[in-house]
Amino acid sequence: MTTKEAMIQELYPEDILSVAKDLTEGEVKLLKQINDFLESKYRDSINNHWVNATEPEDYFKELGKFNYFNNPLLFEGREEARTPSQLFQFFMSYTIAKFDISLATLLGVHQGLGHNTFLFGGSKEQVAYYVPKLQSHELRTCFALTEPDHGSDVAGGLETVATKEGDHWVINGAKKWIGGANVADVIPVFAVDSETKKPRCFVIEPSQEGVEIDVLQHKIALRIVPNTNIKLNNVVVTEEKRLQNINSFKDIARVLYSTRAGVAYMATGGMAGALRATKDYVTKRKQFGKEISKYQLIQEKLAMMQGNLAQAMATCAQLARMQAKGEYDEVATSTAKMMNALRLRESVAMGRGITGGNGILAGEYDIARFFADAEAVYTYEGTHEINALVIGRALTGNSAFI
């Protein structure tokens, strides 16, 4: 067995369709480094962080040290490439979500939604300034689109308003569910131009006058992620801090479609984490005189969890191939997100059922954490129903959103 094969077997024993075989050896080495970092640093504390709704204070900084956008390991044997492979990006999200979905979400907000807003929405000068700092984790960002009264209908329902006054803008409104805004250095805030009624995006800092941020409390899922409310009261932003290439909802949709695949990836990693947690439990738990892993009904549910995972991994691998060729579209990403989140919800329910009463003890058993977090994955980056309507529109030619 080669070094690469041995590392893959160690990292992903659940990969029964050998999806990971197409990773390069350098990519596998970096994935192992990330996995080892998570296991050594946070395995003993992750459940407590979830229960106490605390983010490991050094997680973001330490993850940036892996240089996952530009690490030389990612370009061994593919020296002509300018970006990490899509397959690596799948497995990076998968690996972190397999450990914890909240930690994967924190990365996805920064590296996906936030970073891509600057990458796609910035002028040449803005991209040159912000993107390297975001990629290295020198700066941390998020994505301030949704509002207290607008989530799924945000494309036609933005109430946050930006008014041009001379060489600056004045922004008023509110945002809700913005993950990590309280710890971000720069926040891309979407608002409607009061004159043109078109959306714009502005770079705002949490410390600016008129910006008020508070963390949502009492969540039952993704408790490690600090989701926030943002209130904007006459916040002044210069034209230089307006991302110049965000001028329509199509521009915003481009960011969302680029990251929706990432949620499908996280959902798949969550299935792997739930399967691992359940397997660990059933080999230790005894009932009626023997380990419950030896009972037929338990094995049938484990087999279903493995089957769901295999299908989801295959979907992600194909989506990664399509993205690498520029052939993916909103239907492909919506299908992957919708189905993988649905299968995640099904899998964690089976795992929770297998673990019985212990499966609701989030401080002691991992499955409770995955069970709860699946509910958030099922809803965010387009609810099940909204993604279904995207697919239905393509199938019928009829939009049924309203």
Strands 187-193 and 161-165, sheet pairing: parallel
Distances (CA, A) of 22 to 7, 8, 19, 120, 313: 13, 11, 7, 28, 13
DSSP output for 27-59: HHHHHHHHHHHHHHHHTTTHHHHHHHT---TTH
Half-sphere exposure of 37 (CA within 13 A, CB side): 20
What's the rounded Cα separation, in Å, for the pair 171 and 163? 6
What's the rounded Cα separation, in Å, for the pair 99 and 36? 11
Distances (CA, A) of 352 to 5, 223, 276, 343, 348: 32, 18, 12, 14, 6
Query: Which residues lie across from 228 on neighbouring strands?
Result: 178, 215
Q: Which helix (H) or strand (E) holds 389?
A: helix 384-396
* Residue in the block written with tokens 């926030």: 228
User: Could you give the residue numbers annotated as active site?
Assistant: 381
3-class DSSP assignment, residue 83 = coil
What's the rounded Cα separation, in Å, for the pair 180 and 213? 10
Angle at 339 between CA 374 and CA 351, to 5 degrees: 40
348: left (phi over 0), alpha (psi -120 to 50) or beta: alpha
